[in-house]
Amino acid sequence: MSTRGRPRISVDKLGYEGRRKRRQRDNNITEDYATATVPESRRYTDDEQRESSSPDAERHEALVQARVKNKLAQRASRRKKRIRADREESDRQQVRLYNHPLRYCLRERWHKAANSKSKPKSSSHFAIMGRLGDHILGAQAASCTLPERDYVLTDLDGFDEYLERDWVVHPEIIVLRDDRLFSKESRRVTSNDLIKSLPTDSIINFQDFGLPSEQIYRALPTPKFQRRWASSNGQIVDKPMNLLNMSSSNYEITPPPLLNRCSLLHKATRAVKVDALARKTNAGLDLVGKPTTTDARMDADLESCLQFQICSQAGAISGWHMDSTAPITWATLERNDDHEGAEDTIKYWAVVLVPDECLPSALEAFGEQGPEWEPPREWIRIISLIPGDYLIMPPGTIHAPISPTNCFFRGGMCWDSRIFLTHTLPMWKFIMAHRDKASNEDHPKQAANILNKVAGIIRLSPADFNLSSEKDIDDAIRDCQWLADASMPCECIGSCHDVGAEHCRCQAGNFVCLQYCPCSCSNK
């Protein structure tokens, strides 16, 4: 048989080293056999010897963990220093943006409109709201530095930590800045792209600030609307347009911490949609996970609040208001053009920060005067937003957005079960008691149905709402049911018992009459 390499050497010719290796090999074979037949007492001794080395392994593991912990601490320290520097720079930026020439230009246009000899111009919504805007823009810029910050500036990691700890105790306004929120360029949208993409055969509903306040809502065919929008060339005009309730994009741009920790509204809305589909197909729970139909969307109109888009021309302003249903509202400002600078698009977001001791009287005045309320200027702060900023407002924040440039916002709303009973419900009750003044939105028709779903969630998962005793659970459910009663949308004409959809407003709108409906209706 042929072999590779050098020819084998006989045992006689092996040197000392060869004999040593052979003896070592034989000893290994013997030791392996002996290990298999060693007495049990001997094996215990060997185990004890092996265990004697475990302290070394534990010390090594502890050393590794200490190194990891040290690296994390160093990283956190660097991040803390960076955020502190970012906040200091942000304060300087807030002052710079608030003192932008557009602010003074806007106030000048408001003054001219209010003092115009032309009655249509002096009585226009632009002139009337300009008086309020002039009062607001006489306040001071917001700050994000301690000890008395007006809002929290943070990144995604800090936002998640804040939601986990401080948010539940004392929710504050947050401005989120993090490039990771837009990892794909395709998610960026400009206002110019939005206006150009409007369907040419559609009718556009909007607010026309050139009209009297009671006639502000109007509609135009898309081509006419687009021509009027383009005619301003992005400059402040006396007849700005404001587009509300626009359908949202397909991209999910909700900050992940909100998706993970504030999902109550999503859960309740989903439950209402499942019920709506079940009524239409009699398929019951098998419908979970199927595509949404038009009927289901109509049955869960509050779902439209989950994501929204708002676009306004330079010069537009909204009076003081709270968002309907007292949600957590978030919104991000987009650019107007792909080639503009970082600070070419600006949004002034005015908020009222009321001292605790003045809150009852402030809410009373706001509830009576609504959008035209003029709080003391020392309570007003202006947060200047630029493209990429995410603004997050806690429930019941009184705010008044102002557009010194064209502004396109994408945003949404959510509920946090941890503060739903302590913040959302009380503010929602206030809005319902002053619904004609406190909010500029129509009350969702399906709010009652969704509140009933929330009551069921409270019963199933009381710990999510920080509830433990049966009394607290019953009280919370009773509050939800009271608010559901107050939110009843049914407006049936006369008695609609056993009649067709043409006689029942709820049925015609594809809404189910609630159990509170005063009519004995088959649409239940």
Among 470, 477, 509, 471, smallest CA distance to 493 is for: 509
- On whether the CB atoms of residues 117 and 125 are closer than 8 A, the answer is no
Sign of the CA dihedral with 369 first, then 374, 380, and 383 last: positive
Specify the amino acid at residue 523: N
**Scanning the structure block, which residue is given the tokens 């006419």?**
224
Specify the amino acid at residue 333: L
Sign of the CA dihedral with 416 first, then 421, 320, and 102 last: negative
More confident residue, 52 or 197: 197
pLDDT at 484: 85
DSSP class of residue 321 equals B
More confident residue, 271 or 403: 403
pLDDT in tens, 103-152: 999 999 999 999 998 888 899 999 999 999 999 999 999 999 988 899 99
Mean pLDDT, residues 455-473: 95
Mean pLDDT, residues 174-186: 77
pLDDT at 442: 73
Query: What percent of the chain has a predicted confidence (pLDDT) above 90?
Result: 56
pLDDT at 336 over 50: yes
pLDDT at 182: 67
Give the least confident one: 35-44, 293-302, 363-372, 485-494.
Answer: 293-302
pLDDT at 269 over 60: yes
Instruction: Enumerate the β-bridge partners of residue 71.
Output: none
Rounded to whole angstroms, how far apart are CA atoms 128 and 133? 9
pLDDT at 29: 45
- β-strand pairing of 380-385 with 308-312: unpaired
Domain ranges of the chain: 12-42, 90-254+307-423
pLDDT in tens, 47-75: 555 555 677 788 888 888 888 888 888 77
Confidence of residue 255 (pLDDT cuts 50, 70, 90): very high
pLDDT at 364: 96
What the block records as the tokens of 128 is 């009337």
Rounded to whole angstroms, how far apart are CA atoms 230 and 222? 12
pLDDT at 219 over 80: yes
Phi, psi of 248 (to 5 degrees): -85, 165
pLDDT at 418 over 50: yes
Rounded to whole angstroms, how far apart are CA atoms 283 and 296? 14
Confidence of residue 15 (pLDDT cuts 50, 70, 90): low
Rounded to whole angstroms, how far apart are CA atoms 522 and 497? 6
More confident residue, 89 or 34: 89
- Burial, 523: exposed, middle or buried (Cβ in 10 Å; 0-12, 13-18, 19+)? buried
Mean pLDDT, residues 156-180: 93
- On whether the CB atoms of residues 404 and 348 are closer than 8 A, the answer is yes
pLDDT in tens, 479-491: 998 888 777 655 5
**Scanning the structure block, which residue is given the tokens 């006489």?**
138
Rounded to whole angstroms, how far apart are CA atoms 152 and 351? 14
Rounded to whole angstroms, how far apart are CA atoms 79 and 241? 42
Rounded to whole angstroms, how far apart are CA atoms 50 and 58? 13
Rounded to whole angstroms, how far apart are CA atoms 293 and 3? 78
Phi, psi of 338 (to 5 degrees): -65, -25
Among 223, 88, 76, smallest CA distance to 153 is for: 88
Give the least confident one: 172-176, 403-407, 494-498.
Answer: 494-498
Give this prediction's pTM.
0.78
Of 15-19, 21-25, 165-169, give the range with the top mean pLDDT: 165-169
141-170 residues labelled b (16+ CB within 10 A) or e (exposed): bbbbeeeeebbbbbbbebbbebbeeebbee
Mean pLDDT, residues 420-448: 88
Confidence of residue 515 (pLDDT cuts 50, 70, 90): very low
pLDDT at 3 over 80: no
- On whether the CB atoms of residues 327 and 258 are closer than 8 A, the answer is no
Q: Supply angle C-alpha 451, 452, 456, rounded to 5.
A: 115
Query: Length of the chain in residues, anyone?
Result: 524
Mean pLDDT, residues 395-404: 97
Mean pLDDT, residues 354-360: 95
pLDDT at 76: 75
- Burial, 232: exposed, middle or buried (Cβ in 10 Å; 0-12, 13-18, 19+)? middle
pLDDT at 68: 83
Rounded to whole angstroms, how far apart are CA atoms 30 and 18? 19
Give the least confident one: 78-87, 277-286, 410-419, 426-435.
Answer: 277-286
More confident residue, 204 or 38: 204
Side-chain-facing half-sphere of 55: CA atoms under 13 Å:
3
More confident residue, 187 or 431: 431
What CATH number matches the domain at 90-254+307-423, 3.40.190.10, 2.60.120.650, 3.30.565.10, 3.10.20.440? 2.60.120.650
pLDDT at 341: 92
Query: What percent of the chain has a predicted confidence (pLDDT) above 70?
Result: 75
User: Which segments of 403-475 are extended strands (E)?
Assistant: 407-414
Specify the amino acid at residue 187: R
Rounded to whole angstroms, how far apart are CA atoms 413 and 421? 17
Confidence of residue 367 (pLDDT cuts 50, 70, 90): very high
pLDDT in tens, 275-313: 767 766 654 444 333 333 333 333 345 666 788 899 999
The mean pLDDT value of the chain amounts to: 82
What the block records as the tokens of 186 is 């395709």
Cis peptide before 360 (omega within 30 of 0): no
Instruction: Enumerate the β-bridge partners of residue 420.
Output: none
pLDDT at 441: 79
